[in-house]
Every structure is written in structure tokens, then in C-alpha cells.
Amino acid sequence: MNRHLLNRRSFTATALAGTTALALAACGAGGSGGGEEDKVIKVASHLPPMTDVVTLAGEVAAEEGYTVELVQVSDNVQYNRVLADGEVDANFAQHEPYMQAFNEAHDANLVLLDGIYDAKVGFYSKAYDDAEQLPEGAKVAIPNDLTNEGRALAILHHAGLITLPEGAGFEGRVSGIAENPLSLEFVNIDLLNLPSAYDEEGMALVYSYPSYIEKVGLTPADAILLEELVDQRFTISLIAREDNQDSEKIQVLRRAMTSDVVRSFLEDEHSDTLLPAF
């Protein structure tokens, strides 16, 4: 375990709107004088290492007299809902295309602040050691949201398993595949449930993020296809709202999230699964 996490300041667990909140106390740094409520920064997230980054950033923010409260949610919808509704100040769980899709679907005003890391995404297989072994008609599990669907298809296109229309890039769709020589059968599954598909009989390929596939004991080293062309739009980023992005609390949070302490943690503890983006 990284030495920074071993030296955490005290924190207390609380409950907030059916989620788990982790309050990182600003022990001694900056004092606790008037306006204490304005010194609390609520950040929604859901899985490691994202939650770990928020926790570590809280220690850095404490040096400026602020408390970072981690509001831990259970799915890929809640962290945007609580931010859009003003229940938290920021979230850290997604990339820009996913945020934009939420804004369009819910008439929200979320904004990207800083890219923190690029996850090493790819395809995993329980039945095959190499993509060249895939049989005709093989089932392929991909995300059911359009932003991640396009990213998954781009990997298959780059590997030569399918051909997308010219210029599709990371915005390809199953319905628009130009060539599918193996007649691959695509199964759209919620991002959080993709690791479960890995153990399904007859599922040849499963797309996933490191933080999700870890649930079945896998890392990017186990992938038979890894993303080679990294698009910075898919960087896991710190997100706020238009109405609070310039506030002092958010500026403190941005400095903490992009601090040398966080960078060292990402490099020392998670180099197998991600690359720092700041």
C-alpha cells in the first residue's frame, strides 16, 4: 500500500441519500473557524481506484483547511444525478463523452475540469487465448451505452475483426458495421455487469475497464485485445457544474486532484491498469 494512504488523516463514515459518505477531516490544517460548512467539498464516485484518488485528494485539500467528503454511489447514473441536483460539488467516475450524453439526455450543465487518468481498456476471453482463435458467430459483450459502445468497436476495428465506415473513429455503432467477416454476434450489457458476462457459457469476448474486470480477478495483462489508440476524450475526469466550476472549493479540489501526491499514487500503485493524464 502506498505510504500516502497509510498516513491518512482520521475520517468518519456517514450516510447520505442511501449512499456511503466518507468524510476526510482536515486535522489541524487550516483550523475550524467560522464558515466551516463552506469548507466541505462533496465528491461523488463509486469504485476504486477513483474512490482512492478522492480519498487521497482529501488529504491534500486538508492542508488548505478543507474537508473532502466522498459520497460513494452504487451505479453509473447516481453520481451524475446527485451532481446535477446540487447534492454534491463534483464527481470523479467518467469520461467526457459519457458526461456529454448525460447532459443531452437530462438537460444538465455538467462540465469537465481536469483529466486525471487514462484507463487501459480491452477485451477479455475465458475460452480463447488469442483473437485469431475466435470462431464464426462468436458472441461479443460490449457496453450498452453509445459512448462506450463506440470505443469498444474501435478496438475490434483496429484489430481487424470488423470494419467500421471510414471516419467512424470512436463513434461507430453495431448497426453501422461495414464488414463483419466472422459474423460476430454483439450483446449489449450494462458496463457494471460486463464482468459477469466473462463467466457466461458461449461468451467469446467481453469488453471491460480495469476497475470492473478486477471483480473476476483479471487485469489488463489478461486481455487478449487492448486499446492501442488512446483518445483523450475518454480520460477519467473530474466533473463539476457550470454554476460552481469557478468556486474556491472547486479550485482547491482541482489542485488536490492534480497534485504530485495523487500522481505518485497512480504511478506507484496502478501503473498496470492506467496512465496519469496530468
> In the sheet that 185-189 helps form, which strands lie side by side, from edge to edge?
185-189, 139-143, 203-208, 122-124, 225-226
Q: From CA 128, how far away is CA 141, in angstroms rounded? A: 14
Say which amino acid occupies 190: D
Strands (E), 191-273: 203-208, 225-226, 236-241
Phi, psi (5° rounding) for residue 43?
A: -130, 125
Q: From CA 97, how far away is CA 275, in angstroms rounded? A: 19
Q: From CA 130, how far away is CA 256, in angstroms rounded? A: 41
- Cell numbers representing residue 11 in the block: 475520517
More confident residue, 276 or 21: 276
- Is the pLDDT at 15 greater than 70? The verdict is no
Query: pLDDT grade, residue 268 (50/70/90)?
Result: very high
- β partners of residue 115: 237
More confident residue, 118 or 14: 118
pLDDT tens, residue by residue, 127-164? 999 999 999 999 999 999 999 999 999 999 999 999 99
- Is the pLDDT at 10 greater than 70? The verdict is no
